[in-house]
Every structure is written in structure tokens, then in C-alpha cells.
Structure 1
Amino acid sequence: MPNPTADTAALDLDVDRASPVPLYHQLAQQLEAAIEQGRLAPGGLLGNEIGLAARLGLSRPTVRQAIQCLVDKGLLVRRRGVGTQVVHNRVRRPVEISSLYDDLEAAGRHPTTTVLVRTTRPATIAVAAALGVPEGAEVSYVERLRYADGEPLALLRNHLPAGLLDLSGDRPAATGLYRMMRGAGIPLHSARQTVGARPATAEEAGRLAESEGAALLTMERTTFDDTGRAVEHGTHLYRASRHAFDFQLLAR
């Protein structure tokens, strides 16, 4: 079945030639917004550059440069013999205590999970410090691969104090960890989080459908209940081409 053509003609695209912002960048920003808002549907073909250039009164190299910006961001992909195709829009997440599972559902995506590891293990120095338990104490560990619309998105690794939460059965694959905690009566109050980036190892790349060395977003978070007790320590990896964190900054 052929891919539908993304309807760029229906978009209100315009460029301001008096603006100091380069024309290709203006076009790239408008197309990116259309993709992220769902006005250009994932899987659709963008259409030819000549028609878009003629409509906006731009040169073909300018349009090509705008499209290449979105290819570099992972929002478009060029397929030989097919054309330029819209990729699933990135998941944009607010920096707050929320589960990736819940954020995907809220964004209209279909989250699924494969549980890779579920066990207890001795706490390392780092995990013990994060959870406030003695080094070597037994802690619960679960490692999951989270998908969005059937596409791998994140590799999630979580340590919890032993006995805090029942991780048996199908629930770790059927819902988010924070939803499980709230359902068990564990009140989530605050978290300490660090976001970074690094290249994917061969094993991580294989699981996340990326090439070895591809950029991955890293997120390390320790979550506390309303008594100040650490209830979870997570070290997560996200595909940078499919994921972004939104920050709200306030002037002082």
C-alpha cells in the first residue's frame, strides 16, 4: 500500500524576507511545528521540493537545506525510491514527576513494554547512596524496553528498595512504574534528576534500533515520597531522534 503524501499545501507556511532569521531556518521551524502538532502525519511523504519552493517563492537549495535540518533532527527521513518521509514525531516531555508510559498515552501514542530483567541484587555504592540503604543491601531491579506505536523509544533501568513494590506478574509490562506506585498507596513528592547525553554502545543500539555511536539522551532520577524516603532510582536511555525534554525557565 503506498504511503500517503503529507499535505504541505494545507499548511499556512510563510517566510519573512525582512527577518534576520535565514529563510531555510524559518521554513524548517514551521515544518517541525507541523510535524510535532500532528498536522503532517507520521509515515506520510513530504512531496517534492520543486512544488514547495515554487509555492513559497524560494530557491530549491533553500528548501533542500530546510528539509535536511529536519532529517538531521530525525523528524524526516530520505528513502531511496520512496522520497522524503515524515518520521513519528518526537515525544516532548515536561520536566516533572511523570511516567514515560503516561506521557506517551497523553500524547496519543500507544505505549508497550518488554520486561528484560526482573530480579533482586546487591546495591552498588551509587545505588545505595541514592536509595539511602547500606551498600550490598538487597534491592529490587527491573529493566524494561519501552515502545511507542511499536517503535523502540527508551531503555529503562530502575532500582527500588526491596519489598517496596510488587513487580511480579504482568503489571511492569502493562503500565508505568509511577502508576504502580500510586496504585500501591506510595505518594510521590519530589525528585532529583540529571539529564545528559552519550553515544550508544553496540548492545544499546541493537535494542533501540539505532546505529552504534548514535546519540542517546540519558536521564538519572531519584524519586522521594512525602516523608523524604527514596522510593526509586532510575537510569534511563532515550533515543535523541525521538525524544526531548521541555524546561520552563523563570527570570530571577
Structure 2
Amino acid sequence: MSAVLDLPIDRASSTPLYLQLAGGIEAAVRDGVLTPGSRLENEVSLAQRLGLSRPTVRQGIQELVDRGMLVRKRGVGTQVVDSPVSRQVALTSLYDDLARAGKLPRTEVLEYRVGRPSPEAAGRLLLEPGELVLELVRLRYSGEEPLAVMRNTLPERLAPTREQLKDQGLYACLRERGVRLAVAHERIGATVADGEHAEMLREKPGAALLTMERKLFGNDGTVIEYGHHVYRASRYTFEVTLVE
């Protein structure tokens, strides 16, 4: 059965009608009014009921298809897929953000290596001579869906165990060791999936991916860790609140 939504359309608004439609459907998905698998009212019926043109309705729905929130299926119609993860850009752990959103985070620790740092790692972490580092590669899931490949390097003296990293996020592990996190420098970018990332993230080679590089500092100015994370653009967004 198709869902019939009460979607307010303000023709006096400067926001294009198709974006108002897309925003109303998106809000219904995020609020749980439309659950994964729900089928949308067909375009003709929706256009007539809201007093919109069919091209406007088609454009609004396509906006959400392109963002991975809806999918068109031949013989079925337009359905809601599992809602993407939307994360505020803040000094938080992806694991904790997923747990707060009810997304059932799970982690596979693919690599856990303690050894001598590369010159690049020694410089980034401001290590003393002879210090070792932990190099991590983890695959983070949201429910049963792979979401991100995370590569992190940190001083061995701060290293959580492999078992701890399966059960919680890196930042929670560090806090348990008495490490006080203060500030991070972050750079967000984009790339496309190579064969390795496509396989791990269940995407097609060449699919769009988001990247995030972060360098984390403690409250005493020491460098705690640096990481390079790759996210599925179809399942993940960053959000930033701007104020004047």
C-alpha cells in the first residue's frame, strides 16, 4: 500500500517547489513516518493532490533518489531505502553517533599493527625517538551495511586492545585510558572507489566516496592520533551549522 503524505507547499516561498517536496518527503523519512520499504504515492496522484506539475514531482523525487534515500523499482514504484547517516561535523566518534541514532554500529578490525613509525607518522604525531605506533584499519558497519573504512595511527602508549576496538569507538577507548581530547583539525573531501574500497563498502568501482582526514590533539597540546576515513557517499552525509 502506498503512503499518502500531508506535504505543505508554500508557493510564496523562494524555495523551489521541487525542493519543498523533496524536503517534506525527507522529513517524513527522518521522523519515521516513512519507514524503510515504504512505497510512495505514484507521481500522477501526488501531483494532482498537491496541485503540482508532474515534472516538478518527478524532479523532487529524483533529488532524493540521487541522494540514496529513495529507489525506483520497476513494477513496484518508488520506495524508501534505509535512511542515510547524517552526522554533524564535531569532535565525536562515528561509533557513538551511530549508537545515538539507533543505527547499531559494528566494527571489524581488519589490521592491528604495532611497530616503528614511518617518518611521516613520526612527524605528524611529534614522537620521541624510539616510540612505537599502532596502525589500525577498521571497517565500520551501520546495522548490516558497511559504511566507512577507517585508517588511524596513534602512539603505542595510548593503544587500546583489538578486543576493545571491536566493542566501542576509538575515542571511548582513549577516554577510558584517561586521555582528554581537546581539539581536532579536519579536512573533508571526495574521491571515487577503487577496487579495494568498492569491495569493502559494497559499492561499484568509480562510485562517489567522501573522505575525512583528522588530526586530534589532547588538552596538553600533544597529538593523540591522525586518521584517514572513507565513507559511502550514498549512505553518509556531513552536516555543518553556520552562524553569523
Common fold by TM > 0.5: yes
Matches of 1:204 and 1:121 in 2, distance apart? Answer: 25
Matches of 1:69 and 1:225 in 2, distance apart? Answer: 41
Q: Deviations over 1:146-179 (max 9, x none)?
A: 11121111111111101212323x2211111111
Name which of 191, 206, 210 aligns with 2:199. Answer: 206
Per-residue deviation, 1:51: 2.1
Moved more, 214-223 or 43-52: 43-52
Residues matched between the structures, number: 244
Gaps of 5+ in 2: none
Q: Does residue 128 of the first structure (1) align with residue 122 of the second (2)?
A: yes
Per-residue deviation, 1:107: 0.9
Per-residue deviation, 1:244: 1.5
Aligned match of 1:175: 168
Superposed, which structure 2 residues align to 1:27-106 within 5 Å?
Answer: 27-106=21-100
Q: Deviations over 1:205-237 (max 9, x none)?
A: 111111111111111111111111111111101
Matches of 1:209 and 1:238 in 2, distance apart? Answer: 11
Runs of 4+ deviating beyond 4 Å: 134-137
Matches of 1:6 and 1:107 in 2, distance apart? Answer: 26
Q: Is the 8 A contact 1:191 1:223 kept in 2?
A: yes
Would the alpha carbon gap of residues 175 and 6 (structure 1) be closer, same or farther in structure 2, given more than 3 Å must change? farther
Would the alpha carbon gap of residues 136 and 38 (structure 1) be closer, same or farther in structure 2, given more than 3 Å must change? farther
TM-score (norm 1): 0.89
Moved more, 139-148 or 58-67: 58-67
> Which residue identity is paired with 2:159?
L
Would the alpha carbon gap of residues 91 and 129 (structure 1) be closer, same or farther in structure 2, given more than 3 Å must change? same
Give 3-state SS (helix, strand or coil) of 1:119's partner: strand
Matches of 1:118 and 1:103 in 2, distance apart? Answer: 23
> Which residue identity is paired with 2:60?
A
Give 3-state SS (helix, strand or coil) of 1:205's partner: helix
Give 3-state SS (helix, strand or coil) of 1:163's partner: helix
Matches of 1:130 and 1:6 in 2, distance apart? Answer: 54
Name which of 204, 215, 222 aligns with 1:222. Answer: 215
Gaps of 5+ in 1: none
Would the alpha carbon gap of residues 21 and 129 (structure 1) be closer, same or farther in structure 2, given more than 3 Å must change? same
TM-score (norm 2): 0.92
Q: Does residue 12 of the first structure (1) align with residue 39 of the second (2)?
A: no
> Which residue identity is paired with 1:91?
V
Would the alpha carbon gap of residues 131 and 28 (structure 1) be closer, same or farther in structure 2, given more than 3 Å must change? same
> Which residue identity is paired with 1:48?
N
Matches of 1:78 and 1:122 in 2, distance apart? Answer: 51
Matches of 1:163 and 1:44 in 2, distance apart? Answer: 49
Per-residue deviation, 1:191: 0.9
Structure 1 vs Structure 2 CA RMSD: 1.9
**Percent identity of the aligned residues?**
49
> Which residue identity is paired with 2:170?
L
Q: Is the 8 A contact 2:116 2:133 kept in 1?
A: yes
